[in-house]
Structures are given as C-alpha cells and as structure tokens.
Amino acid sequence: MTDTLQKRLVSIDILRGLIIVLMALDHTRDFWGAAGFSPTDLSQTTPAWFLTRWITHFCAPLFVFLTGVSAMLYSQKLESKAQLRNYLLSRGVWLIILELTVVNLSWQVGYAVTFIQVIWAIGCSMVILSGLIYLPKRWILAVTLPFLLLHNAIDDAVLSALFGQVDWLWKIFHLSSWIGFNDTNYGIIVVYPLLPWFSVMALGYVLGELFLKPQPQRQKTLLLLGSTMVLAFIALRATGIYGDPSAYQGQDTVLFSILSFINTTKYPASLQFILMTIGPGLMLLALLDKVSVEGKIYPAVHWLKVLGSVPLFFYLIHVPVINLTAHLYTFLRYGEAVNFFGGMRVAPQGYEPSLLLAYTAWITIIALLYYPCKQFGLLKRRSNSVILSYL
C-alpha cells in the first residue's frame, strides 16, 4: 500500500476508534448501569439515559460500512480478485466462529443460549461480499441496494409462513427473535438479522474508491452524500411515508418530541436508522480527513487512531473486562456477584441504576485498555504472523 494511501487511512482509523469507544459505553452501561427499562422507551426514560443509548446507534452501521471501505482499500495491494475473495471469505468465517465461541462466552460467562450479534453480521457480510467483488461496482449496488431500500416493505408474518418449517432461516435474515431447538431450552437469539447489513458493507466497498481520489474531491463527495442521507432521513421521518416500523409521534415536550423523531428501529436496522447513522458518519469522515497534515495527526485524536487500528482485538478484550469488573464491583458493593447481561435480573438490595457510575467505569476501562491495544498494534505491525493478522 502506498504511503499516500496509507495517510488516507488515518481518518478511517480515527472514526473506527471513536466508534468502538462509543460501543464500549453501550456495553459498559449494560453491565454497570442496568436500569430495568429500555433507555429508548420514552414512557420510562430520561434524556440522559436515552442519549447515552442513542449515540451508540452509530457504531454498528459505521463499523460495517468502514469494513467495506477497508476491504476495497486492502484490494489495492493485492494482485488479484482471488486474493481479495480468499481474504474476505477466511476473515468472515473466522468472525462467525469467534461470535459463536469466544464472544458468547465473554458476554455470558457460559453458553446458556447463543447470541448472534454484530460480529456475526460482519462475518456473514464479508462472506457475501467475497462473492460480489467479481461484479462491476454498479452491479454490486444494483444487487444489494434493494435489500437496504425495500426491506421495510416486507411482511414478516407472510414470509415466515412461506418458509414453513424452515422459518428459522427467515428469522436469521430479518427477525430479531428466538430460534428454539426442538423441545430443549437451548436456542439462538437473533440480535442482528442479516438484512440489511451486507448491503451496508457493499455500499462501503463501492464508496471506498473515493479514497483513491484527491482529497478535495473526496471530502466534497463525502459531505454531499452524507448531507443527502440526512435530508432523506428527515423527509422520511417527518412524513412517515416509509422506512421504519415505528412512526414518529409528537410528545408532551419539545425535547421528548425530538427524541421521538430520532428514535428509529435498530433490530432489524430500518432504512431510516441507516440514513440517520451513515449520513452523519460520512460527513464526520470528511471532517476527520483533515486531521492528518503531512502524515502528522493532531494529538487530540491520536489515541482514537491507536484504538481504531486494532478494532477486533479491542472488541475481544473489552467485553470480558467490562463483565468481570462489573461482577467484582457488585460482589464488593453488595456481597454478591451480579450478572446484568440481557437486562435487569433480580437486583441486589440497595441497588440503584446510576449513569454516573456507568460513565466512570467506561472512562476507566478505556484508559486501562489503551496500553495493551497500543502494544498489540505495534506488535502486529512488526510481525508477519498469520495468526496476528486474524486479530
């Protein structure tokens, strides 16, 4: 990869670093600030709880999108489509395996059920993209964009009935639901249905070519595309014509009306949700493109680049650290180790949900993870190990 192209990757690493830091906030809240209600439930929440959850909505769409961008840029140093196909296929399968094993264990400290979440969705999307890369870019969009634009018009009940005994397949693609195994209590909880995530990754792959263009043209196009998506979101949300199963409803106060306006559906990710998150992300990416001057990065965002350069390593270590430290804290504070994963269980006597505690734990954990991420990044750059390349 040329030095010029490497410099252009700086903005991607910084944005990816910001994404995973926000992701860690959401996961820290899960374990350290279990509230007993959904933070986006306007009948129970407060603005602080709502926005703490809402800001993290940007993580999954932008991470999936940037994975597509990175795949296109990685192809620039490969000699053939076959090499890119093998890269995407092998990494995709590896991510699926990690989700089903290591990631599930780190969330639950066991295997009571199997959750398929964002790492699984990214892995499956990479596998699909490995077959699409042989098509011209315009055909990739033609094949994938309809799934992004039109999936909210699908009647899930009708499709589930059509699939009959294999309705579990439709659940994997478009229903956040439970897939049970015969008469056992074991099953799969589909958190991230595959639609429309592979479309988002394919879009990132196609738009990745912008990073091969001169900086002024790249920034102008990113700002134009991002602002167009934001305007499309506002139009769809305000009119309620299409794009989200949960329509905007005015509230008693202006503030809660605004919260209702941005309270779109994530599971499965609606068109309005994607427009609301990808649009500002593209605009932010254009702004971050300016932080590198002659290869130097502004100190205020350099730490984000460090974290963003090792996103999978960060993901694999941050969940168990959050989980175990929360268990330790509740044991020391309440005399019993409490696992709040999956929602509020039976809270220990005296427990009160605290956003201040969750934010304090989040900042502390990010600080603790920075050094090992920095050292792993240095090791990975110095090493030619195939094993390290998968982390």
* Terminal CA-CA length for the chain: 20
| pTM for the full predicted model | 0.94
Instruction: Classify strands 187-190 and 114-116 as parallel, antiparallel or unpaired.
Output: parallel
* Residue-level pLDDT at 350: 86
Instruction: Show pLDDT as tens, one digit a residue, over the chain (391 residues).
Output: 454 555 557 889 999 999 999 999 999 999 999 888 899 999 999 999 999 999 999 999 999 999 999 999 999 989 899 999 999 999 999 999 999 999 999 998 888 889 999 999 999 999 999 999 999 999 999 999 999 999 999 988 888 888 888 888 999 999 888 888 877 788 999 999 999 999 999 999 999 999 899 888 999 999 999 999 999 999 999 999 999 999 999 999 999 999 999 999 999 999 999 999 999 999 999 998 877 644 566 777 889 999 999 999 999 999 999 999 999 999 999 998 888 876 656 778 888 899 999 999 999 999 999 999 999 999 998 988 888 888 8
Look up tokens 């192209």; give the residue. 5
From CA 50, how far away is CA 48, in angstroms rounded?
Answer: 5
**380 phi and psi, to 5 degrees?**
-65, -40
Nearest in space to 271 (alpha carbons), one of 168, 204, 171, 199: 199
What is the DSSP annotation of 294-311? Answer: TTEE-HHHHHHHHHHTSH
Specify whether the CB–CB gap between 355 and 26 falls below 8 A: no
For 20, 26, 305, the CA distances from 322, given in Å and listed in that order, are: 14, 11, 22
Instruction: Classify strands 296-297 and 292-293 as parallel, antiparallel or unpaired.
Output: antiparallel
Going through the chain in order, the beta strands assigned E by DSSP cover 114-116, 178-180, 187-190, 292-293, 296-297
* Region label for 178, one of left (φ > 0), alpha (ψ between -120 and 50) or beta (otherwise): beta
* Residue-level pLDDT at 345: 64
Nearest in space to 130 (alpha carbons), one of 213, 201, 25, 220: 201
| Identity of the amino acid at 361 | A
* Residue-level pLDDT at 294: 43
* Residue-level pLDDT at 340: 80
Q: Per the omega criterion (within 30 degrees of 0), is the bond before 196 cis?
A: yes
* Residue-level pLDDT at 1: 47
Look up tokens 């008693």; give the residue. 252
From CA 303, how far away is CA 161, in angstroms rounded?
Answer: 50
Look up residue 124 and give its two tokens: 């499956």
Long-range CB pairs of 76-79 (<8 Å, 24+ gap) are 76/1, 76/2, 76/5, 76/212, 77/1
**252 phi and psi, to 5 degrees?**
-70, -30
Q: How many domains does the chain have?
A: 1
Name every residue whose Cβ is closer than 8 Å to that of residue 328 and which is 6 or more positions away in sequence.
337
Cβ density class 88-108: b for 16+ within 10 Å, e for less = bbebbebbbebbbeebbebbb
| Identity of the amino acid at 69 | V
Structural domain harbouring 330: 3-389
Specify whether the CB–CB gap between 35 and 353 falls below 8 A: yes
* Residue-level pLDDT at 6: 55
Burial class (CB in 10 A: 0-12, 13-18, 19+), 387: exposed
Look up residue 142 and give its two tokens: 């033609």
